[in-house]
């Protein structure tokens, strides 16, 4: 069976201690001992979070990733194979390298903090992408170039090289980001220059609002701080999306957490010609703007919610849904995701998600 979507890039082992009994200040208090709940783990990163969500949504997906030859790498592969034995077939084991991992710190009623080690991904480049497998798929999704130093260095020269190699096969391209730590090499990179160089080769680009504002509107991000989501309006989001479209993206959007998801299509019909290869009609997307609210759920954890939203969007695109329905499915998959503490097990099948929407699922 041909693979519909290749998800490549970053994967990690997510270690999730249950900190729901603690307030944020207790987590950082020195010299104290606190009893907490049991620890759980799952795989994280875009290859896992978006890839496994696509698998649960019924999309035939191939996972391309790297791990080291250590127990963390073995745990990552075993976890992925627990969903389907074939999903670990294209995860490469690199000798004498450490596997990536992330410790998820999520105290009671507070957004998470991620402590991450990139490990083997310090050297990730085009040579780590299986182009033979890519050549037969419909869509290529690359996760977290912000954690792949060789790709974002030199103003994204190697990222552009990788995207150009993929586009030579006529494959639709999509990229997801992570929020760079300000004092890291990624945080100090010139992301405006990187995006300017690479967006003409990125068909679908849907970062979180925090990520893109860090890259293009850092002053606004600093000024609004914790009030960011309350400070946004449709005009601001449209202008920000238009900036990405003017830099070359075909479809631009933002994951907005509890405020849902915003999508905007290019005004140039020729830039949207790629949609025909996945059964979409460019006319539906030309100049399109839609903002779908988040669905109401009881939140167990927000880990992987943005990746799940992206999976919902890509699955809907592959299945030929109209733009508004694509945004709705993205929000629905993200909402299911946050009903579980980890990044994958909350995601339901495509049919179960559709049924939940059809039953009158309330939104914010």
Confidence of residue 93 (pLDDT cuts 50, 70, 90): very high
Res 317: pLDDT: 98
- State pTM to two decimals: 0.93
Helix (H, G, I), strand (E, B) or coil at 305: helix
In whole angstroms, what is the distance from residue 14 CA to residue 244 CA? Answer: 31
According to DSSP, residue 85 is labeled: G
In whole angstroms, what is the distance from residue 206 CA to residue 293 CA? Answer: 16
Res 74: pLDDT: 96
Helix (H, G, I), strand (E, B) or coil at 322: coil
Res 110: pLDDT: 76
Res 73: pLDDT: 96
Q: How many CA atoms lie within 13 A of 235 on its CB side?
A: 1
In whole angstroms, what is the distance from residue 43 CA to residue 77 CA? Answer: 9
Neighbours of 182 (CB within 10 A): 10
Helix (H), strand (E) at residue 9: strand 5-9
Q: Does position 302 have pLDDT exceeding 90, yes or no?
A: no
Question: How confident is the model over 77-82, as a mean pLDDT?
Answer: 96
Tell me which of 30 and 257 has the higher pLDDT: 257
Confidence of residue 106 (pLDDT cuts 50, 70, 90): confident
How far is C-alpha 168 from the geometric centre of its chain's CA atoms?
A: 23
Write the CA distances from 218 to 181, 199, 222, integer angstroms: 13, 19, 6
Res 95: pLDDT: 95
In whole angstroms, what is the distance from residue 47 CA to residue 62 CA? Answer: 9
Burial call 49-61: b when 16+ CB within 10 Å, e when fewer: bbbbbbbbbebeb
According to DSSP, residue 274 is labeled: G
Q: Which two tokens stand for residue 296?
A: 């109401």
Least trusted range by pLDDT, from 32-41, 184-193, 277-286, 310-319: 32-41
Q: Does position 307 have pLDDT exceeding 80, yes or no?
A: yes
Helix (H, G, I), strand (E, B) or coil at 131: helix
Q: Does position 111 have pLDDT exceeding 80, yes or no?
A: no
In whole angstroms, what is the distance from residue 228 CA to residue 226 CA? Answer: 6
Residue pLDDT, tens place only, 139-194: 999 999 999 999 999 999 999 999 999 999 999 999 999 999 899 999 999 999 99
What is the percent of the chain with per-residue pLDDT over 70, rounded to a whole number?
Answer: 100
Q: Does position 109 have pLDDT exceeding 80, yes or no?
A: no
DSSP-H helix ranges across 217-322: 218-224, 228-231, 234-246, 282-285, 305-318
Question: How confident is the model over 6-21, as a mean pLDDT?
Answer: 92
In whole angstroms, what is the distance from residue 49 CA to residue 302 CA? Answer: 12
Helix (H, G, I), strand (E, B) or coil at 23: coil
Sheet of 39-44, strands arranged across:
39-44, 12-17, 101-105, 113-117
Tell me the average pLDDT of the chain. Answer: 95
Res 14: pLDDT: 87
């Amino acid at each position: 069976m041909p693979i519909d979507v290749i998800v490549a890039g970053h994967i990690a082992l997510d270690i999730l201690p249950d900190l729901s009994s603690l307030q944020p200040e207790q987590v950082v208090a020195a010299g104290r001992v606190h009893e907490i709940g049991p620890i759980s783990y799952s795989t994280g990163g875009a290859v896992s979070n978006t890839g496994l969500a696509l698998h649960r949504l019924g999309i035939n997906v191939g996972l391309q990733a790297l791990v080291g030859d250590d127990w963390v790498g073995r745990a990552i592969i075993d976890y992925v194979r627990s969903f389907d034995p074939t999903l670990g077939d294209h995860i490469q084991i690199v000798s004498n390298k450490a596997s990536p991992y992330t410790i998820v710190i999520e105290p009671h009623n507070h957004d998470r903090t991620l402590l991450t080690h990139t490990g083997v991904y310090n050297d990730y480049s085009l040579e780590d992408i299986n182009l033979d497998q890519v050549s037969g798929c419909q869509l290529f999704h690359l996760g977290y170039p912000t954690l792949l130093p060789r790709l974002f260095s030199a103003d994204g020269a190697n990222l552009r090289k990788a995207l150009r190699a993929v586009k030579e096969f006529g494959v639709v391209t999509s990229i997801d980001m992570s929020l760079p730590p300000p004092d890291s090499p990624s945080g100090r990179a010139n992301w405006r220059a990187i995006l300017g160089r690479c967006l003409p080769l990125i068909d679908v680009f849907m970062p979180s609002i925090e990520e893109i504002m860090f890259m293009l509107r850092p002053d606004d991000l600093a000024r609004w701080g914790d009030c960011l989501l309350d400070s946004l309006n449709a005009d601001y989001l449209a202008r920000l999306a238009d900036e990405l479209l003017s830099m070359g993206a075909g479809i631009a959007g933002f994951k907005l957490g509890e405020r849902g998801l915003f999508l905007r299509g290019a005004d140039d019909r020729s830039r949207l010609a790629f949609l025909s290869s996945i059964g979409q009609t460019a006319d539906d997307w030309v100049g399109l703007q839609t903002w779908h609210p988040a669905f109401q759920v009881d939140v167990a954890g927000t880990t992987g919610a943005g990746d799940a939203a992206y999976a919902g969007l890509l699955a809907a695109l592959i299945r030929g849904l109209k733009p508004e329905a694509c945004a709705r499915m993205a929000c629905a998959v993200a909402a299911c995701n946050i009903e579980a503490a980890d990044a994958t097990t909350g995601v339901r099948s495509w049919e179960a998600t559709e049924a939940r929407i059809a039953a009158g699922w309330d939104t914010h």
